[in-house]
A = this chain, B = another copy of it.
Amino acid sequence: MPLFEGVVPPVVTPLTSDFDVDYEAFDRVVDFLLEAGVHGLFVLGSTSEVVFHDEKTRLKIIERALRRAGGRVPVLAGVIDTATDRVIAQARAAQSAGVDAVVATAPFYARTSQPEIVDHFRYLREALEVPVIAYDIPVCVHIKLERSTISTLAREGAIAGLKDSSGDDGSFRYVLADTAGLPDFFAMTGSEIVVDSMLNLGAHGVVPGLANVDPHGYVRLWNLCRSGDLAGARREQERLCKLFEIVWLGLPRISAGSAGVGAFKTAMRSLGIIETNTLARPQRALNGEETARLDAILRATGLLE
């Protein structure tokens, strides 16, 4: 059986208007997600604005999540950094804090080749006790984890799983085929909008940023897929696709990054879960006009009255 499965939202990091982490709001987010029935929490992912936070803050976020989750679900922590030894240092801190797994990308800023990326994950494996999950997110890292890189690492046991945010469904399918004989290995999709397809292909879970806004929807979608209700799953997914359109409201005024996480935070503010839609600097938040259009989408998809 794979180590983790199901809906594992990348948890948004709420900020005060002074750009500090709002830990009380963070607790409310954790509660909101757990009450909706999610199967795990992924803190310090891209949706968590991880790269905007320093090591000390990152550790505090991990500790807060672990305390609030209280063992009810596994907690995965992103250890997103530019190079091997920096990732190891962070991962050791996360491991000591008690996370259930760490999630690491290929190196970034520096350019590395696929064989060097294979070595990177082998070094992590040697240095750590906790399971390591490979995070494939070329839109941020600017290199794709190739199918053979992932499959090699999976077969060696260097990685326990994959979080695929590459948008390359064909490649993801081949990874599922390559690792089908590895009962412990799991592969999760980072997509918000083709989750039914990916679960039908054999994905073990989903890590959707949008689940911060509508965790119930993704839990329903997961259950519908598990029960084999294809048509019901498709209907739920299509509602979530409509909701996902909030991520484009800020474009092109702000960047795709700010528009996406900014939309999640703005929606969560509209839903009363967090206090501000502030993003870490230098990102710009959604403005009033964009918020009005966002609220209309929340209403159209049944989240707001």
State the A residues within 8 Å of B (CB).
Answer: 19, 46, 49, 51-52, 54, 80, 82-86, 89, 107-113, 115-117, 119-120, 123, 139-142, 167-170, 173-174, 177, 191, 193-194, 196-197, 200-201, 228, 230, 234, 238, 241-242, 252, 254-258, 280-284
Nearest residue (CB) in B for A124 is: B282
Note all chain B residues with C-beta closer than 8 A to A115. 254, 284
Whether the Cβ atoms of A113 and B254 lie closer than 8 Å is yes
**Are B281 and A83 neighbours in the complex by a CB distance under 8 Å?**
yes
- Known contacts A84-B280, A111-B139; 5 additional CB pairs below 8 A are A49-B110, A51-B82, A111-B258, A112-B257, A113-B252
Chain B residues with CB below 8 A from A86, complex form: 51-52, 54
Indicate whether A52 sits within 8 Å of B82 (C-beta atoms), given known contacts A142-B142, A257-B112: yes
- Chain B residues with CB under 8 A of A170: 167, 191, 193-194
A275–B210 Cα distance when bound, in Å, is 51
B255 touches A83 (CB 8 A): no
- Could you list 5 A-B pairs, sorted by A, with CB under 8 Å? A54-B89, A83-B281, A111-B258, A119-B284, A196-B200
Given the complex, which residues of B lie within 8 Å of A123, measured CB to CB?
A: 281-282
Given the complex of chains A and B, what is the CA–CA distance between A165 and B119 in angstroms? 28
Cβ A257 vs Cβ B110 within 8 A: yes
Contact indicator A111/B19 (Cβ below 8 Å): no
A54 and chain B: residue at smallest CB distance: B86
Contacting residues, chain B, for A254 (C-beta < 8 A):
113, 115-116
A267 to chain B, nearest CB (A): 19
Q: Which residues of B contact A46 (CB under 8 A)?
A: 109-110
Residues of B within 8 A of A242 (CB): 177
Min CB gap A10→B, angstroms? 14
Decide: B80 and A109 in contact? CB cutoff 8 A: yes
Contacts of A112 in B (CB 8 A): 255, 257-258, 282-283
Given A85-B19, A112-B258, A112-B283: A234 and B201 interface contact (C-beta under 8 Å): yes
Q: Is the CB of B169 within 8 A of A109?
A: no
In the complex, the answer to whether B173 meets A194 with C-beta atoms within 8 Å is: yes
Contact residue among B52, B82, B241 (Cβ-Cβ distance under 8 Å from A174): B241
B168 close to A281 (CB less than 8 A): no
Residues of B within 8 A of A174 (CB): 193, 241
What's the minimum C-beta distance from A149 to chain B, rounded to whole angstroms?
Answer: 12
What is the CB-to-nearest-CB distance from A58 to chain B, in angstroms, rounded to a whole number? 11
Asked if B52 and A85 make an inter-chain contact with CB atoms under 8 angstroms apart, the answer reads: yes
Are A256 and B80 in contact, with the CB atoms below 8 A?
Answer: no
B177-A194 in contact (CB<8A): no
Interface centre among A85, A123, A241, A282 (most CB of B within 10 A): A282
Chain B residue contacts of A280, Cβ below 8 A: 83-85
CB <8 Å contact, A257 and B80: no
Alpha-carbon separation in the docked complex, A84 to B196 (Å):
38
A284: chain B residues within 8 A (beta carbon): 113, 115-116, 119
